[in-house]
Chains A and B, each alone.
Chain A
Amino acid sequence: MWSKMPKWANFIFSIRAAGLLLVLAALGILPPAGAQAHAVLRSSSPASNETLDQPPSRVELHFNEVVRLVSASVTDSTGARTDVQGDTAGSAVVLNFPGSIARGTIIVSYRVASEDGHPVGGSVVFHIGTYTATASEVPQGLASPLMIAIWLVHAGSIVLLAVVVGGAFFARLLEARTPPPSRQDLSASLAVLLLTTNVYLQGLDEIGGELRFAGIQPFLAASHSGSAIAASLALFSIVLVAMPIKGRMTSLAATVLAMIAASVSFTFTGHCNAVEPRWLARTCMFLHSGVMIFWIGSLIPLWRVSEKQAHTGPLLGFSRAIPLPFAGMLLAGGALAWIELPALDTVMLSIYGRVLLLKILLVSLLCLLALYNRFWLTQPALAGSQTAMWRLRRSVTAEMVLAVAIVASASLWRFAGPDQLEFATAAPPLSIHLHSETAMAQLELQVQSDGTSTARVSVITLDFETLEPRTVLLRVKNPRAGVEPIKYDLLRSPDGAWETRGLPISNPDGWEADVQILIDDFTTAHLQGELSPTADTSVTRRTADAGS
């Protein structure tokens, strides 16, 4: 029959048949032919939530089936996102980790396609550095022995450095009676010991861990940081002043050099090291610490000269010399605080701010004492009043106590930088109400001072009755920042809520949550919502309204 048809008709029929075949084939691929394959991440290296000392050179992802890498990115703790390349071999993907990355919590997000071309995204979160061991625990009163040791040794080495170097400078500048050489040697040795211990503890903190002996490793770890340069300069200054140098001018030059080295050493550590403008912060730090060394160093010699009438020369010299540098120290300190602290109304909310207030209080007391010494006691003491001499001695003793307290309070900044302000201000937990057709949940997000968050989920039925889910899963993602879903198994807390910690969320903007609860063997419910704080958006809206 077909042979009777013209050839062109036969041809058109073939085209129609081919078209029909294509449509059928397409139907076979598209739903409802059944759900397609999804690749599932089986393991990764570094593993999820692992804490590393050093950034890894690569990140390995192992899937349950053969995949093809579509895209991948690395987001560091500052929120900076870097797209990364990688190689795929069967079911494994090896990503090249970027060389320069901020320490802290890292999110590696990936999108892979499985055999059928269906892309699946996910994220792996891990941490570089020992962020939990540095600062976050001290403000909560969870001071570890290592933290206390670092604080004591740090404050002690600063005081001793000032006593040794500043004391020598005072003695040589004002030609006071030099302290007995034996005692000078003793304090110099003690300062060397404290400085070395300080570097060791610093390194111990960097490699992460507790107060223990860890061989030479902490020194190696610290040698990469500014604290090693600072310690070397400080040691150099101590060696300089401890050397028996003949000749007034030569020894004075050596002490001036020592003062400069010791002051420079302060500019290599601390928060002033990281703030902009750096040149200003470092100059202020140099001036601030230089005067601090001179002032603290002069306290013991002053105390000693106020013992006897015969040695009033240095007192007169100091009295004349100190006002200008002292004012400079206050100015430089004020400038540093101004550079580091952006908003005055939030001062009390951060540990940094509280420490600053404590320090300002102590320095105010010191200024009162200094004024009292300068304008009420110095003249009578120089004139030979025994009472004034006695009072001066008492006052200098009080200054010594204040000096130690000021150094000790400033050393607390080692644990609480100004950058913690943003986490401290986020103190009230973020509460989000989520609901689905079968259940409701209250999701509470608490940003911790280390920049990560803890999540708490309470699940109830639509009738406000308690629901006992079998398991609760939390997925968070940030499509705007390119962060693919990160999955957390929540653990049941004694009070019935479900919790997890270590979420890489410091700012909830753009994050979305999906709480998956397993109600019974065969039923799940998904409760989804955005994490962005409603309070903030309403404020923004109000401001916008007022403007228009």
Chain B
Amino acid sequence: MIKRLMLAAVVAISGASVANAHITLEQSQGTSGKAYKAVLRVGHGCEGKATIKIRVKVPEGLLSAKPMPKSGWTVEKVNATYEMSYDLYGKPVKEGVSEIVWSGGSLADDEYDEFVFRATVAKELPLGTRIFVPVVQECTDGAVERWIEVPAAGKNSDDYETPAPYFEVVAQPRS
């Protein structure tokens, strides 16, 4: 019975997500102190033009980010120093991948694809924080869509035309 319910719930959630036209993250929650698999879903190009580059800003608090290689695309990593030092499995980390770029491929406007990276959610991030992952989508003819809007206080992503995808930091389940 529980299994059936869970299955139904999954269907309901994924069904509701089909209509998403923005670049969004598949997982809406990431566990504090654990690895988070960020699956960026790209549902369309820039106003009809094919996508040729995806640039992702790895936000503060996502540690040791690793992109998943993608056939037909070149992946690039940019390192930078973090704003603060984080504790990762007992070791302090101060720098890491801050930007991931997939380029060289081509994704038509009427096609769908996913771009994946994995990173650890820093324990220092307060529970309930929404982590925004800004994405710049570059297309042919110099067209650009910037999914980088981070809502100001009192606003939410729906108030913006091009919101940044996000997930929420949740506590580890008690075992």
Contact = CB atoms under 8 A, between A and B. Distances in A.
Given A40-B161, A115-B19, A33 B1 contact: no
Given A35-B158, A42-B48, A522 B16 contact: no
Contacts, number: 97
Interface residues of B, number: 40
B12 A64 contact: no
Interface string B83-127: 000000000000000000000000000000000000000000000
A85 interface: no
Interface in A494-548: 518, 521-524, 526
Interface string A278-309: 00000000000000000000000000000000
Contact of A21 (B5, B25, B47): B5
B163 interface: yes
Interface string B136-173: 10000000001011101000111001010111100000
Contacts of B19: 36-37, 114-116
A526 B152 contact: yes
Given A21-B12, A35-B20, A42-B47, A522 B25 contact: no
Interface size band for A? 20 to 34
Contact of A523 (B148, B152, B167): B148
A28 interface: yes
Which of A17, A27, A28, A526 has the most chain B CB atoms inside 10 A of its CB?
A: A28
Given A28-B15, A28-B17, A38-B22, A118 B158 contact: yes
Contacts of B22: 34-38
A64 B143 CA distance: 15
Interface string A103-124: 0000000000011101000000
Nearest to B163: A35
A529 to B, nearest CB: 13
Contact of A34 (B15, B17, B47, B146): B17
A521 B158 contact: no
Contacts of A28: 9, 12-17
A141 interface: no
A36 B158 CA distance: 7
A65 B45 CA distance: 12
A498 B105 CA distance: 36
B85 to A, nearest CB: 22
A17 B1 contact: yes
A15 interface: no
B130 interface: yes
Interface in A88-136: 114-116, 118
B148 A24 contact: no
Given A21-B9, A25-B9, A42-B47, A34 B134 contact: no
A28 B14 CA distance: 7
A522 B65 CA distance: 17
A29 B9 CA distance: 11
Given A64-B48, A522-B148, A32 B12 contact: no
B68 interface: no
Contact of B134 (A20, A27, A115, A522): A522
A35 B47 contact: no
A34 B165 contact: yes
A54 interface: no
A38 B47 CA distance: 12
A25 B16 contact: yes
Interface in A464-481: none
Nearest to B29: A32
22 contacts: A20-B5, A21-B5, A21-B8, A24-B13, A25-B16, A28-B9, A28-B13, A28-B15, A31-B156, A31-B158, A32-B29, A34-B22, A34-B24, A35-B163, A40-B47, A42-B48, A436-B152, A518-B146, A521-B55, A522-B136, A522-B148, A524-B148
Interface of B: 1, 5, 8-9, 12-17, 19-22, 24-25, 28-29, 44, 47-48, 55, 57, 130, 134, 136, 146, 148-150, 152, 156-158, 161, 163, 165-168
Interface of A: 17, 20-21, 24-25, 27-29, 31-38, 40, 42, 64-65, 114-116, 118, 436-437, 518, 521-524, 526
Q: Which 7 A-B pairs have the closest CB atoms?
A: A28-B13, A37-B21, A25-B12, A24-B9, A34-B24, A522-B134, A522-B57
